[in-house]
Structure 1
């Protein structure tokens, strides 16, 4: 989803600064964007490390003098582990990436955005942050927390011209599945009645999420603040 956002935003004329833990995909994407006439910069960042997140945000401001849109998109799953079985390491790792990372980036970006008169923060949450049965304990709690962060920032910084919104994707064809290493039997069994196949819902493409992000970042959405836009193909309607 982050790649699709970067490609779409660049096509629309944005100067994008891309952050990821893995540098090879970053470098390839920067090359692709530049070859298409766009402007892109890559910064290696582990979003669970506050110093690296600060450096990432600072690199964007150093390169372009301002920060108009922050997309907090990094996330990992939790093997669908339920509360009685989760260990401290898994809990802390999921919360570090899914909650602390967006908080670190938001905290660094807010003084920049308020000083320049405004900006937009877009958090990639999940339908798992709206309901209880789409993931394990850590992931579900982390995405609920991210939605709470979104709403608090939206309310607090509204007078300074900062909008903060979230997207709640459903099933999307991305690489996040690679973080599912040993699926928990109980978690998977409880998920089964809500599976996309059983409910007849198609997997979405990453560009569909990117287009939602583009709308939320644009002036067309200037009245949208603190909202959670569900993009799930109807998965949670029934």
Structure 2
């Protein structure tokens, strides 16, 4: 599997050097459309992720950072998330109007008025605060169209095996990044793994996300998405990034 990934990465990188020619494979687009259609039709979803990401510690010095997460998304404007990193748990709760972040290690929380839908909130959180909470691009109804507009190459790389399961392999590339997606071959088409490789400034880096433990169309009480400050916790100010 490692040799296959390295070979595919080399192919995708070489595609970025061939100018601005657009190549979008119809098989890959069909599979991506089915994934986007699936997520557009469900009412709620719960899943877990394992993430390995290159993070800049100093100039020209990257370290690998690992985290695990669990998320619940219900309707267009409810989200609850638990992220475990650096040996501690961090919680996010969004009720459609306010997002609250709570650190269990420091026993502090911060709250901010947020956009009125989950997808808008995730974009806002990334753009204003530099927090990419969850890789949720395929949850957008126009996911395939956005990918076609941003990626010069979209290719179906064939059927392969990942962790003992049959999956579809799709690769995309533009001049600044490559994306590889592995989609399960079950009746419900869902992502199994995504690898993003950023090729440009300030340094080349990679993020790998594994998805697992999917549950769909469960009904979760509103209390899951509301935040109740724990005893002796303190509130701090949420500062936007520069």
TM-score with structure 1 length normalisation? Answer: 0.30
* Greater relative CO (CA pairs within 8 A, separation 6+): 2
**Which structure shows the bigger proportion of residues in strand conformation?**
2
Q: Which has the higher helix share?
A: 1
Q: Looking at CA atoms only, which structure, 1 or 2, has the larger radius of gyration?
A: 2
TM-score w.r.t. the length of structure 2 is: 0.29
